[in-house]
Structure 1
Amino acid sequence: MGNVILGKTYTGVFPNNKQQINHGEQEKYLLEDAHESIIELEKFQQVQEEMRRRSNVEVVEGKIKRKETRYSIKKEKKN
């Protein structure tokens, strides 16, 4: 899409100057059209929607739940 997020990691203050993942401790920046896009925005959004549709995870009342689907080719035995 040509966008990039800056500030995903940061370096602490001496003596703890190791690189750390930014979980909101510092500000992040979104730069739009920062570079030439590989895929058009419309196509990217279509793919994201298809991934959500195929996902086994759904959000119900703010809680993450698994769908009641099974991924097996075995058929249930009926008596």
Structure 2
Amino acid sequence: MSESAKVDVSGYSFEKAVAELESIVARLERGDVALDESISIYERGEALKKHCEALLSAAENRIEKIRLDRAGKSQGTEPLDGA
């Protein structure tokens, strides 16, 4: 694994990780990257993708659904999945 793929992405915000992932995809789609570098940035992209998935999963677990009464007034919150 290359040095760029080894750089820890765990501290990246979702937006920063997505922006870097989009940059990697654009470079790979252009096809003007040497094979060794393509493999390296693909590995980096995989790490960024996994980080984004983890951040999204954590956000989904925190989302709550607002319960409303018949008049449409808030009655509190409950987990989004109803669990």
TM-score (norm 2): 0.29
Larger proportion of helix = 2
| Structure index of larger Rg | 1
Larger proportion of strand = 1
TM-score (norm 1): 0.30
